[in-house]
Amino acid sequence: MTGHPEPRVPAYRRLTVDERRAQLITTAQHLFARSVPEEVSLDEVARRAGVSRPLVYRYFPGGKQQLYEAALRNAADQLEHCFDVPADGPLSDRLGRALDRYLSFVAEHGEGFTALLRGGSVVETAHTTAIVDGVRRAAAQQVLRHMSVRRPGPWLRTSVRTWITSVEAMSLLSLDEGELTLAELRDYLVELFVAQLTVTATHDRQTARMLRAASALEPPDGRVASLLERAIGALAPAPVDS
Amino acid sequence: MTGHPEPRVPAYRRLTVDERRAQLITTAQHLFARSVPEEVSLDEVARRAGVSRPLVYRYFPGGKQQLYEAALRNAADQLEHCFDVPADGPLSDRLGRALDRYLSFVAEHGEGFTALLRGGSVVETAHTTAIVDGVRRAAAQQVLRHMSVRRPGPWLRTSVRTWITSVEAMSLLSLDEGELTLAELRDYLVELFVAQLTVTATHDRQTARMLRAASALEPPDGRVASLLERAIGALAPAPVDS
């Protein structure tokens, strides 16, 4: 995990190759989390890690681009695991737990790092885009696994992928605006999932079956029941005297 | 509009500066719509437009990058106008009409051109990203205008922006997979809007007021009523004998 103000491994001890590599990646992630990649220099990475610039190049001969991709790959591995929560309990609770992890990660890595998800970085390439797309695919697969769906048809596949995009978009927008709390975002995104899959179920039998099976496991006083009650209230005509 | 196999203006007539510029942009859009930008060459643009390569450079001294940005700007102008439909009738009909335009545009411009929306193009820069982001902001503003909302709070602003992202994501995913028709996509996205705003309304008074006002204008046998009926059916417990 990044977010520590300084690398965790003290520089005075001789590091193994793996430790040094991990230290440089952590240092780079820390810098990429706070600045756009264009403003991060290898000199700064070397200085913070307490090593020489040539040593950074020995580990990452491709320079900043390679270090950036390694940092991104490392972050992608962590993001992919967010949706890999234990497969027990109601679906809405599992999604809530996964979103807690995902949103904490996004909050922790800050604007600079997540700029990549938004595009617009000068170090973005087809390769880095493939890494980001891989995170989206992996997240969608985890969600389908939680729904016990092995072979999603086009409706279900597209719905889940689109919801993952909404998770990403809301995280980034909220990071910019900072007006919604992580708990509000989490609850909203779980409810958006339920609402979106309900719409999909009205078009697609596979989704309808899945939704029925998932609903049966939700507690009668749980968040899905609460959402339904509030939604019906929101859609009801206004009282005449209001 | 692009999509024509050859530029519309015959090459034997002497074109004005504006006509030539428009012809080169149309030709470029046509090529960018069918190939990733990396594979489009200025020689090909010149050949198709029936002009010399130096002439292309006279109009676009920045070469392919500049021509690409001009083509993107032109497409962005058209995309921004998609949501600028007449402000009459129920909200769901307005959104349906806007989506008809938007989805036709995406279908017409093909994978190559829309690759930019997905990121991963080597010619992507902060500048082109700003253009794409401008389209998203403009679309969100048009939607808010149709809802007669002048000062959206964070919930409403974030919801509408997130829905725009869903429109984009579903368009691109469906372009890849090709299994849903444009009419299915349009209806689904209108319904997703209603569902998402309903969820938002359960958290936010401004959205709740807007949703009530919009619902009052929907016909009793219209698509919102139909969605609600189908959604309640989808969420109802399965019959015991099924």
- Would you call B217 exposed, middle or buried from its count of C-beta atoms within 10 A (0-12, 13-18, 19+)? middle
Provide the pLDDT for residue B2: 43
**For testing the chain B interface, which of A124, A162, A187, A206 should be mutated: the one with the most B CBs within 10 Å?**
A162
pLDDT tens digits, A57-76: 999 999 988 998 888 888 88
| Residues sharing a CB contact under 8 Å with residue A226, sequence separation 6 or more, in sequence order | none
d(C-alpha B60, C-alpha A134), whole Å: 36
The pLDDT tens digits along chain A (242 residues) read 444 455 555 555 688 999 999 999 989 888 887 777 778 899 999 999 999 999 999 999 999 889 988 888 888 888 888 999 999 999 999 999 999 999 998 888 776 566 556 554 555 666 777 788 888 899 999 999 999 999 999 999 999 999 999 998 898 888 777 788 999 999 999 999 999 999 999 999 999 999 999 999 999 888 888 888 888 888 776 555 44
B235 touches chain A (CB under 8 A): yes
The kind and range of the H/E element at B176 are helix B154-177
Of the candidates A202, A207, A198, A201, the one whose C-alpha atom is nearest the C-alpha of residue A227 is: A198
pLDDT tens track for A144-167: 999 999 999 999 999 999 999 999
Instruction: Return the pLDDT at A3.
Output: 44
CA A239 distance to own-chain centroid: 41
How many beta-carbon pairs below 8 A join chains A and B?
Answer: 133
A 112-151 residues with CB < 8 A to B? 118-120, 122, 124-126, 129-130, 132
Q: What's residue B211's pLDDT?
A: 93
Could you give all domains of chain B from N- to C-terminal order, each with its CATH number?
A: 17-221 (1.10.357.10)
In this prediction, residue A169 carries a pLDDT of 87
Give the model's pLDDT for residue A68.
Answer: 87
From the list A161, A200, A234, which residue is nearest B169 (CB)? A161
Q: Phi/psi class of residue A110: alpha, beta or left (left: φ > 0; alpha: ψ in -120 to 50)?
A: left
Give the residue on A whose Cα is nearest the Cα of B198. Answer: A231
CB contact under 8 A, A235 and B198: yes
Task: Give the C-alpha separation, A174 to A56, whole Å.
Answer: 35
Q: Please give the ipTM for the structure prediction.
A: 0.84
Nearest C-alpha neighbor of A223 from the set A176, A188, A197, A182: A188
pLDDT of residue B10: 54
Buried b / exposed e along A65-82 (16+ C-beta atoms within 10 A): eebbbbbbebbbebbbbb
For position B116, what pLDDT does the model report?
A: 59
The answer to whether the CB of A144 falls within 8 A of the CB of A152 is yes
Task: Compute the distance between CA of residue A37 and CA of residue B222 in angstroms, rounded to an integer.
Answer: 50
Could you say which of B192, B202, B230 has the minimum Cβ distance to residue A227?
A: B202
- Closest CA of chain B from A238, distance in Å: 7
pLDDT at B12: 58
Three-state secondary structure string covering A172-183: HHHHHHCCCCHH
CA angle centred on A114, ends A16 and B137, rounded to 5°: 170
Cβ pair A198, A211 in contact under 8 A: yes
Q: What confidence score (pLDDT) does residue A118 get?
A: 56
Q: Which two tokens stand for residue A218?
A: 């939700």
Q: How far is CA A155 from CA A39, A67, A222, B177, B178, in A?
A: 42, 38, 27, 11, 11
The low-confidence residues of chain B, meaning pLDDT below 50, are 1-4, 6, 120, 241-242
What pLDDT does B225 receive? Answer: 86
Maximal CA-CA distance, chain A: 77
pLDDT recorded at residue B80: 85
Instruction: Give the pLDDT score at B59.
Output: 95
Both tokens assigned to B43: 């020689």
Question: Is the Cβ of A17 closer than 8 Å to some Cβ of chain B?
Answer: no
Task: Report the residue of A103, A136, A199, A207 to disrupt the B interface, i.e. the one with the largest count of B CBs within 10 Å.
Answer: A199
Q: How far is B166 from chain A (nearest CA, A)?
A: 6
pLDDT at A1: 42
Judge whether A60 and A28 are in contact, CB under 8 Å. Answer: no
Taking Cα atoms as reference points, which of A122, A98, A112, A100 lies closest to residue A176? A112
CB < 8 Å from B in window 50-79 of A: none
Q: Which residues are within 8 A (CB) of A121 and not within 5 positions of it... i.e. 6 or more apart? A: A36, A37, A38, A115, A128
